[in-house]
Amino acid sequence: MVKKENSGESQDPRESRSAQEPRGKDEARGPVSRPGPLEVLREARAQFAELTGLSAESVTTFEQTEDGWSLEVEVLELARVPDTMSLMASYQVELDPRGRLTGYRRLHRYERGRADAHRTGGH
């Protein structure tokens, strides 16, 4: 009886492991390696906030690139009174194909009350 129980127990885990291994490998190549756009956005915002301590108020650009994903996020950097005088910033955020943040950089800062932050600096 002991031999039957041991042989039965040892066969089941081996069979289930071998049956699961190929599936895990296939999943790693499929959905896990290329998350969908909404998942990428959620994760990018969370990772950016954790690294910088700044919460994205909006995502103004979002695109898939050859190297992964690229986003531009707008954040509140310095709150002032009145709110229209608060300092905002635009950040370029880069992610790998799996949606993991690989880098970010501040593109520019501007007052919240500015109508078009990208063009007002040049006039």
- Over range 30-42, report the average pLDDT: 79
Q: Is 70 exposed, middle or buried (0-12, 13-18, 19+ CB in 10 A)?
A: middle
pTM for the whole thing? 0.66
91 against 30, higher pLDDT? 91
Residue ranges per domain, the chain? 1-33, 37-120
Closest to 120 in 3D by CA, of 93, 88, 92, 73? 88
Tens-digit pLDDT profile for residues 59-86: 999 999 999 999 999 999 999 999 999 9
- Over range 31-56, report the average pLDDT: 89
